[in-house]
Structure 1
Amino acid sequence: MKAVFLMLLCLLSTAALALEPGERLAPWTLLDQFEVPYTLNDKTHILLVARDMDGAKLVNAALEDKPKGYLEQRQAVFLADISRMPGVIANLFALPKMRGYNYRILLDRDARIASRYPAGEGEVLWLQLEDGKLVEQKVFKEAGALKSALEAGGK
């Protein structure tokens, strides 16, 4: 009986995490790879979320030939969950490499923000926002498709 109750509780908690169109995203603030804070606000139109290294690599591949400011021009931000990365690795290798990228990466070091969004392993979650409310969500598992969507401006 306890097992059934726990399973039901898990299912209900998963359903509670699902985002629905029209839902307002709670504001949050994170530091980027340069230790500069960013707060999610009503001007953000696209929120890209990667919960693992493979998802982050998709974003990097989609943006590798884009100029500095490319995401900002689209009112887009990239949130990367780096909570599973050992601190020594992050500080000695990953962060210095990220500082060389032409785009801003909002770093969730303890998964307190990224865990709000249902991004899966090896994928990028795209949240289309309007005035802080969710309009649409998409999942990308291929860099070319993500790149095309960004070029189209989310349409």
Structure 2
Amino acid sequence: MVLASVAMAQESPATGWTLLDQYDKPYTATADLKVLLVAHDMAGSKLVKAALADRPKGYLESRSTAFVADISRMPAPISKLFAVPAMRDYSYRVLLDREPRVANRFPAQADAVTWLQLEQGKVVATRQFDSAEALRQALEQGEP
């Protein structure tokens, strides 16, 4: 099953899509993107938040990295009134996958964040992180 999900991720386009961030500003993934982080649940999003604690604004962008949060299962009133406004205090951009249109293309693991290593818009490696410290170290090194 893991091999099938890796194969699916490699066949799915990792770029060419557009999502709105927590400020309702569009972001389009281009071939320049090197790492795509995908949180399929709240626990994954919390891992990213912990890994990026105390990091300066623009930290992910400086590493050609984008973060997608699948919020499709979150009730719309909760997302609109509480979750998204809280995300506006983050020092990093959160691309909100409300339907989901992007997150469902890639393998998921409960309570983890998916790291997709990209080259020219294609997935060349996939890894799951269930530790904020391990994710932080990978971001510092630039690869899993």
Give the structure-1-normalised TM-score: 0.85
The CA deviation at 1:142 is 0.6
Q: What is the CA deviation profile of residues 97-149 of structure 1, one whole-angstrom value per residue up to 9, with x for unaligned ones?
A: 10000000000011121111112211110001111111211110110000000
Amino acid aligned to 2:129 = F
User: Per-residue deviation at 1:25?
Assistant: 2.8
Question: By how many angstroms is 1:24 displaced?
Answer: 4.8
Higher Rg of the two aligned structures: 1
Q: 1:84 aligns with which of 73, 76, 86?
A: 73
- Structure 2 vs 1, CA of residues 130 and 54 (structure 1 numbering), >3 Å: closer, same or farther? same
- Structure 1 equivalent of residue 8 of structure 2: 18
Does the CA-based 8 Å contact 1:47-1:128 persist in structure 2? yes
Greater CA deviation, 110-119 or 80-89? 110-119
- Post-superposition offset of 1:93: 0.7
Corresponding residue for residue 149 of structure 1:
138
Q: Which residue of 2 aligns with 1:134?
A: 123
Task: Supply the RMSD in Å over aligned alpha carbons.
Answer: 1.9
* Runs of 4+, deviation exceeding 3 Å: 14-17
* Counterpart position of 2:29: 40
Percent of residue pairs bearing the same amino acid type: 52
User: Which residue of 99, 103, 116 maps to 2:105?
Assistant: 116
Give the corresponding residue for 1:69. Answer: 58
Aligned 8 A contact 2:37 2:65 in 1: yes
Number of paired residues? 142
Question: What stretches of structure 1 of length at least 5 have no aligned partner?
Answer: 1-10
Change (3 A) 1:43 1:92: same
TM-score scaled to structure 2, two decimals?
0.91
What secondary structure does 1:19 align onto? helix
Task: State whether residues 49 and 125 of structure 1, in contact with CA within 8 Å, keep that contact through their aligned partners in structure 2.
Answer: yes
Deviations 1:73-102 (A, max 9, x none): 000000000011111111111111100000
Q: 1:17, 1:116 within 8 Å by CA — same for their partners in 2?
A: no
